[in-house]
Amino acid sequence: MNIAKHVKEFQSVAQKNDVKIVAVSKTKPPEDIMQAYQAGQTIFGENKAQELVSKYESLPREITWHMIGHLQRNKVKYIVPFVDLIQSVDSLRLLKEVNKQAAKIDRKVNVLLQIHIAEEESKFGFSQEEVLELLNSQEIRNFKNITIKGLMGMATFTDDTHQVRKEFRSLKSFFEQIRSGFDLENVSMEELSMGMSGDYQIAIEEGSTMIRVGSSIFGSRNY
C-alpha cells in the first residue's frame, strides 16, 4: 500500500471539492499513521477510545484526532482532554457525559450528532425526531462545554447507489433544516460528515463537507 500516494490523491479530492479528509487509522500501526502524516495528512479518525488515547500519546502533537466510533460513557473522560471532534455522539446521555467531563477540565469540546440514516438496524445514531426534540429542549441550553458542529451519518452498506444517494440526500436536507431553523449558542452547523472509501464520491455530490477514508488510504484492515 502506498500510503503517501493515496494521501496525495485525497488531498486533490479535498481541494477540488472543498471537503476535509479524515484518515481513518483504526487497527493500523503508528508507522502507517506517520507515513500519512509525513505526506501532509493531519486529521486522523479512530473508533476505539483506548486506541485513540495510545496513538495520541505516542504520535506528534500536531495531529488532530477525531473519535468516529461508538463511545461508551465511561470512556469519555479519557478522550475529552485532547480530542478535536467527537463525530459519533449518538445519544442524549452521551452528550451529557461529554459536557460533564469537558466542564471538569474547563474545555469546550466539538461534537457531531450521529444520525441514523441507514436501513440496517445495527447502526447507531439519533433519529431526526430525536434531534429536533433535543434542539427544542431547555436542556441543550445548559450544555456550556460542548459545541455541536454538525451531523455525521453512515449510509447502508450496499451496492445500490440509488439507496446510498437517497440516504445522503436526506441527511443533507435535514442538516440544512437545522442550520436555518435554530439559533442556539452551542450549535454551529458547519460540518456534514458523510462518505467513506466506498461511497465518498456520492457523498460529495450530495453535499458532504467531511469524508472519512480508511481502506482507500491505508489498505484493507485485518481484524
Ligand X SMILES: *Cc1c(COP(=O)(O)O)cnc(C)c1O
Please report, as ranges, the residues that interact with ligand X according to CB under 6 A.
Answer: 24, 26, 47, 68-69, 154, 196-198, 212-216
Smallest gap, in angstroms, from Cβ of residue 201 to ligand X? Answer: 12
Smallest gap, in angstroms, from Cβ of residue 197 to ligand X? Answer: 3
| Residue with smallest beta-carbon separation from ligand X | 214
Smallest gap, in angstroms, from Cβ of residue 74 to ligand X? Answer: 20
C-alpha cell at 53: 488515547
Q: Residue 79: what are its φ and ψ, rounded to 5°? A: -100, -20
Q: Which residue's CB is nearer to ligand X, number 177 or number 197?
A: 197
Smallest gap, in angstroms, from Cβ of residue 104 to ligand X? Answer: 27
Q: Which residue's CB is nearer to ligand X, number 7 or number 154?
A: 154
Q: Which residue's CB is nearer to ligand X, number 140 or number 167?
A: 167
Q: Which residue's CB is nearer to ligand X, number 145 or number 216?
A: 216
**Is 221 in contact with 29 (CB distance < 8 Å)?**
no
